[in-house]
Amino acid sequence: MDSPQRMCMSCRRQYDKRDLIRIVRSGENIFVDKTFKAAGRGAYVCHNKECLQRLVKHKLLSKAFKCEVPPNVYAEIEAEYDR
Ligand SMILES: [Zn+2]
């Protein structure tokens, strides 16, 4: 069974979905989707710290979702790297 590949929005490499952090925009809500099943528009970032830094620095999430992303969302993503 092959697992779905998704692109990290920061390094643009393809990864196994399970190796990525999924962020979802559903209407006005933006959140880290730990279940990988939430409905809405998804964006992915890999576990490479450099990708996180680039994501924050260049506000890649705002670009992916074409809207303002509140700082707490970035904090939520960062928390995923500390696990
Ligand atoms: Zn990456």
Segment 16-70, tens digit of pLDDT: 998 999 999 999 999 999 999 999 999 999 999 999 999 999 999 999 999 999 9
Residue 2 pLDDT:
67
Compute the distance from residue 53 Cα to the ligand 1 centre, in Å. Answer: 10
- Which domain CATH number covers 57? 3.30.1230.10
Residue 3 pLDDT:
73
pTM, to two decimals: 0.91
Q: Give the total number of structural domains in the chain.
A: 1
Compute the distance from residue 1 Cα to the ligand 1 centre, in Å. Answer: 24
Give the span between the Cα atoms of 77 and 22, in whole angstroms: 9
Compute the distance from residue 16 Cα to the ligand 1 centre, in Å. Answer: 12
> Which of 62, 83, 66 lies closest to 74, judged by CA?
62
Give the span between the Cα atoms of 5 and 44, in whole angstroms: 10
Residue 82 pLDDT:
80
Give the span between the Cα atoms of 21 and 57, in whole angstroms: 17
Polymer length of the chain:
83
Neighbours of ion ligand 1 (CB under 5 A): 8, 10-11, 46, 48, 51
Domain coverage including residue 72:
5-81
Write the CA distances from 70 to 13, 36, 50, 61, integer angstroms: 26, 21, 21, 10
